[in-house]
Amino acid sequence: MNPDDDANLVRRCLRGDDEAIHQLVNRFQAEVFGLCVRLLCHRHDAEDVTQEVFLRIFRGLRGWDSRRPLKPWIMSIAVNRCRTWLSQRGKRPELVDYLQDTLPGPPPDDSGELVQEIQMAVAELRLEYRTAFVLYHEQGQPYEDIARVMDRPVGTIKTWLHRARMEILMHLRRRGMVAGGAEEHSAARLPESRREQA
Amino acid sequence: MNCDVAHDLLQQCLDGMPIESPEWLDHLRQCSDCRSLANAARRLQDGLHRWTAPLPPPGLAERIAERVLLDRRRVRRRMRRRYAVSLALAATVILALTLRLDWRGKPSGTEPLPRESASLTPSRSPGTNDEPRDKLSPTLSESAAEVGEVFTGLRNQTADETLGQTRRWVSNVPSPALPKFDLTAMGSPTRPLREAGEGVSQGLEPVTKSARRAVDLFLRELPMEEMTN
């Protein structure tokens, strides 16, 4: 998206143009909602949080620096709101209703199961790792933008993303989604005495 | 090649960069742990290709926009109410000061006061010993007196001008239908206003007293350094 377009849209929103408000919501709602679903692992909560995120966006629109891109600013509000929501909820994240997220139609192989396992692994990640993973792999944002969203250096984001991937790879191996991976992995992780018995 | 380097290459692979390293392939042949990780990475890539972002429910955008517009209207209404309250408070303070000064600076006669007599001295109740207030209150009273003088002057001037114009207008109209006015018998225009002001200021006296007491209390609470500055 052209930054001039964003600045123009924001200017119109600040002038009280209702059409511009609708446009801005339509432009970013899918990404904000997607991130909220992944971070909160709950669709209904994600809907509520998405609404709150947009309320905060419009209340703080005057505080946006028009020299910077709009999208990372919006996503940072979404991340902060999700973090607050999770800390208030104070319980383990629930698993998403996968039926609503997977591709329509029966998959020809185990790809549906694979996607479910990846989603499960993502839901088990630490919030920072999960945020970095979703922003990079699902939303296709570059490291620099993710660093802006999460207000951390690029190096930290890379480290978080690498750890997130490693944890997901371990999960896939543990769950038998890799040919020969479960056996090899379990043998590798067993203590010496039990490994001999196995 | 050791496992750490192999893991770094694996991360590069997941970043979408192609890896053409025979050493890496050799390492994967020898190390079962790295080989299984590489297989898992391939599966992860497969899964990510099929991974779709969650779609927002239909009508969410409309609901959000509606809520945002509602919130805007509420905020605007709140701001307007705050503005009105501030204006009303400011007007009340100015009115109270004006009435108080008018009441205090006027003798019981009917003629308008000369301006010099409207200047005020701070009020002192007999028998009370409040020296710190005496030191501070003249400044406050003087400022208030100036405001009062300006308002009284403006009011008197307007009333006098109105009466003069009326006199001219009535005398210039030669109509028998108009009742005969004894224009010379008309008194000072400020008299009824002053009487009204007197009544209101008597009514507002408790308010002005409380305000004065509050200001005195506030000034007394100030540290000495600030007062001397």
Q: What is this structure's pTM?
A: 0.59
Distance from CA of B52 to the nearest CA of A (A): 7
Q: Are residues B41 and B93 in the same domain?
A: no
Contact B67 A55 (CB under 8 A): yes
**In the predicted model, what is the mean pLDDT of chain B?**
74
- Among A164, A171, A168, A92, smallest CA distance to A132 is for A164
Contact A180 B36 (CB under 8 A): yes
Quote helix, strand, coil % in chain B, to nearest 5.
75, 0, 25
Distance from CA of A196 to the nearest CA of B (A): 17
Q: Are residues B136 and B31 in the same domain?
A: no
Q: Are residues B9 and B106 in the same domain?
A: no
Residue of B135 and B95 predicted with greater confidence:
B95
| Residue B53, pLDDT score | 85
Q: Are residues B44 and B142 in the same domain?
A: no
Q: Are residues B27 and B113 in the same domain?
A: no
Domains of chain A, residue spans: 1-94, 105-198
Among the partner residues A100, A107, A177, nearest to B43 by beta-carbon distance: A177
Instruction: Give the architecture-level CATH label for domain A105-198.
Output: Orthogonal Bundle (1.10)
Element (H, E) at B227: helix B224-228
Residues in chain A closer than 8 A to B68 (CB atoms)? 21, 25, 54-55, 58
Q: Does CATH place domain A1-94 in 3.60.110.10?
A: no
| Residue A161, pLDDT score | 94
The mean pLDDT value for A18-38 works out to: 92
User: If you count them, how many residues does chain B have?
Assistant: 229
Residues A70-79: pLDDT tens digits?
999 999 999 9
Among the partner residues A22, A101, A185, nearest to B54 by beta-carbon distance: A101
Residue B211 lies in a domain: yes
Cβ–Cβ contacts within 10 Å for residue A175, how many?
A: 16
Total structural domains in chain B? Answer: 2
Q: Domain range for residue B33?
A: 3-50
Q: Are residues B44 and B93 in the same domain?
A: no
Q: How confident is the model at residue B181 (pLDDT cuts 50, 70, 90)?
A: low
Residues A155-185: pLDDT tens digits?
999 999 999 999 999 999 888 877 755 444 4
The torsion angles phi and psi of A61, rounded to 5 degrees, stand at -60, -30
- Is residue B152 a contact partner of residue B102, using CB atoms and an 8 Å limit? yes
Task: Tell me whether the CATH fold assigned to A1-94 matches the one assigned to A105-198.
Answer: no
| Residue A18, pLDDT score | 87
| Residue A34, pLDDT score | 92
Residue B83 lies in a domain: no
Answer whether residue A107 shows pLDDT above 70.
no
Residue B78 lies in a domain: no
Give, rounded to a whole angstrom, the gap between the first and last alpha carbons of chain A: 57
Q: How confident is the model at residue A58 (pLDDT cuts 50, 70, 90)?
A: very high
Answer whether residue B174 shows pLDDT above 70.
no
Per-residue tokens: B187: 């008194």
Give, rounded to a whole angstrom, the gap between the first and last alpha carbons of chain B: 76
Residues A139-159: pLDDT tens digits?
889 999 999 999 999 999 999
Question: Looking at this protein, which amino acid is placed at residue A57?
Answer: I
Q: Are residues B43 and B99 in the same domain?
A: no
Contact A185 B56 (CB under 8 A): no
Residues in chain B closer than 8 A to A169 (CB atoms)? 37, 40-41, 44
Contact B33 A188 (CB under 8 A): yes
Distance from CA of B21 to the nearest CA of A (A): 20
Question: Looking at this protein, which amino acid is placed at residue A1?
Answer: M
DSSP state of A137: I
| Residue A186, pLDDT score | 40
| Residue B173, pLDDT score | 61
